[in-house]
A and B are shown apart, each in its own frame.
Chain A
């Protein structure tokens, strides 16, 4: 049986559409990340699932039960809010017990669940403290604990790590991954941090422009982006998209770039639309070289990351391109460089942004 099922969810705020025909099915115990730019409707979708916002149309089912008609507290869902939303006047223990008391769980059972959750989250010494007496990371744990003790069928996490500093975020990310093994429930996490989504999620749901752009496991999203938006949004730095025209080829597409150089891809020619296409290149597919006769570009920025150097440049036609060089690169700002383009790993997008994939990918 599926865990969560969304069918035909639509929502607009006034005249502004926010979600348009969202359909999604979660497997049991699946960890899903909603990934998308700010304002793309991730939180809104999460709040519709939780019942804090009502959809204009569509249905929400959880483990075979229709829940969009139920009150938030009756849905079997627990949520961890971005700013934790702990009750300031209650101790950690009272915060965790509040929902259970409302559900008339027995006192012994409440104590047992709180003790168990506190042990897992290592917050036992904090149980009698109020939120104001805790650090951000500790509050975060208590908020997770408050969700855990409810033993829900579905966890919703809205940007759970965004308020933590970099080191703590990494640690908590690892802990969330471990926690996921222990809980018997599906999890949806909203994030606009792709590294977070890539490490934690079984599947990523990329949302933009009111719609789901792509659903798939992290590596599939990375290596077979469904369209140019996903291609550019996932991966850091972003994939370069260069306008290119199809030139004669036999089996696979070859493309001419703005500067006249030709790139031979592994994308089958069959089914490609004619005319203007866009060639998608990840930085690792574009390398600085000494070989003449390759693509020429002028350097706008050199970014030294230690293990590699990123070269931001533009072609003669003005198109932006991002490539790589070795750590001790001699390239300087303003230099003319030769770029060797690895056509075999290139992606190809039609005029409407839809991807055409390599035969082997």
Chain B
């Protein structure tokens, strides 16, 4: 008997199946809609009863207030620089390291690879204190390098690119060698173009991770002009935000997630494929 999943793949679904899916989707989407509606309400109206969000009048005043804070655009810019910087850095480093592990012979290659794998098992929280000390000693706190560099340590990225590149037939490298290509040309013109699916998957996850990161920027950026958006918005919350500033709070949440939303929509295919791949393993 074909499974539900198989039916979905063939585009065949019973009314009951459709009902189930729609119900599930509604449950997922309800809190998001609720957040959006709350963000569009006047704060004092919500103090009495948050159910007021279900009807008008709606207003953009909370969003205007976000930009009323002169630092918001600065935080947005910081987040963009940090997230894009980390993404670019991880792609470059993970590709180079992956190529080296996949194709080059060098001393201690296996040992180093095992160390990279062990890195997968170390949670970032576990090293945050020494990391803080190190960056203080390097005078890197409150700087872009200080915010970006820790994110470039990406054992998963290295592991991912190594595995992917190992899957590329060596005959291609050999054909390129006979075609007179240098090591760099082989890497750049033959191997890297073939890893684009892996690159985009890694890029999406790195970007999202960097954008959502809260803890390290909270510790490292102590000057408000170096805050990232997540830290800045949290710091700018009014007192009693949960009660008297609910609409503003929700507007912040919506605002901070817009870039993520865009990334999800643009890279939908890669994300679904990566998730499906993870599920199959």
The A-contacting residues of B in range 171-200, CB under 8 angstroms, are 171-172, 174-182, 185, 189-190, 193-194
In contact, A72 and B177 (Cβ under 8 angstroms) = yes
Q: Which of A82, A86, A98 has the most CB of B within 10 A?
A: A98
The A-contacting residues of B in range 137-192, CB under 8 angstroms, are 169, 171-172, 174-182, 185, 189-190
A183 CB → nearest B CB, Å: 17
* A83-B169, A88-B194, A102-B185 known; A77+B175 contact, CB < 8 A: no
* A83-B169, A85-B169, A87-B172 known; A78+B178 contact, CB < 8 A: yes
The verdict on A259 contacting chain B, using a C-beta distance below 8 Å, is no
Please name all residues of chain A whose beta carbon is closer than 8 Å to the beta carbon of B171 when the two chains form the complex: 81-83, 85
In contact, A103 and B180 (Cβ under 8 angstroms) = yes
Q: How far is the CA of A157 from the CA of B204 in the complex (A)?
A: 43
A residues contacting the other copy or chain, number (CB 8 A):
24
The B-contacting residues of A in range 81-98, CB under 8 angstroms, are 81-83, 85-89, 98
In contact, A52 and B179 (Cβ under 8 angstroms) = no
In contact, A85 and B181 (Cβ under 8 angstroms) = no
In contact, B178 and A79 (Cβ under 8 angstroms) = yes
* A88-B194, A102-B185 known; A73+B179 contact, CB < 8 A: yes
By beta carbon, the residue of chain B nearest A97 is B179
In contact, B185 and A72 (Cβ under 8 angstroms) = no
The B-contacting residues of A in range 68-82, CB under 8 angstroms, are 71-74, 77-79, 81-82
A222 CB → nearest B CB, Å: 33
In contact, B179 and A77 (Cβ under 8 angstroms) = no
The verdict on A216 contacting chain B, using a C-beta distance below 8 Å, is no
By beta carbon, the residue of chain A nearest B190 is A87
Q: How far is the CA of A150 from the CA of B176 in the complex (A)?
A: 13
The A-contacting residues of B in range 190-214, CB under 8 angstroms, are 190, 193-194
The verdict on A99 contacting chain B, using a C-beta distance below 8 Å, is yes
Q: How far is the CA of A150 from the CA of B181 in the complex (A)?
A: 13
B160 CB → nearest A CB, Å: 19
By beta carbon, the residue of chain B nearest A150 is B179
In contact, B172 and A85 (Cβ under 8 angstroms) = yes
In contact, A73 and B174 (Cβ under 8 angstroms) = no
In contact, B177 and A71 (Cβ under 8 angstroms) = yes
Q: How far is the CA of A83 from the CA of B169 in the complex (A)?
A: 10
In contact, B176 and A98 (Cβ under 8 angstroms) = yes
In contact, A102 and B181 (Cβ under 8 angstroms) = yes
Q: How far is the CA of A108 from the CA of B172 in the complex (A)?
A: 26
In contact, B180 and A79 (Cβ under 8 angstroms) = no
In contact, B185 and A89 (Cβ under 8 angstroms) = no
By beta carbon, the residue of chain B nearest A53 is B174
Going nearest first, the 4 A-B pairs with the smallest beta carbon separation are A73-B180, A99-B179, A85-B171, A102-B180
Q: Which residues of A contact B (CB under 8 A)?
A: 50-52, 71-74, 77-79, 81-83, 85-89, 98-99, 102-103, 146, 150
Subset of 11 A-B contacts with CB under 8 Å: A52-B174, A71-B180, A73-B181, A79-B174, A79-B175, A79-B178, A82-B171, A85-B174, A102-B182, A102-B185, A103-B180
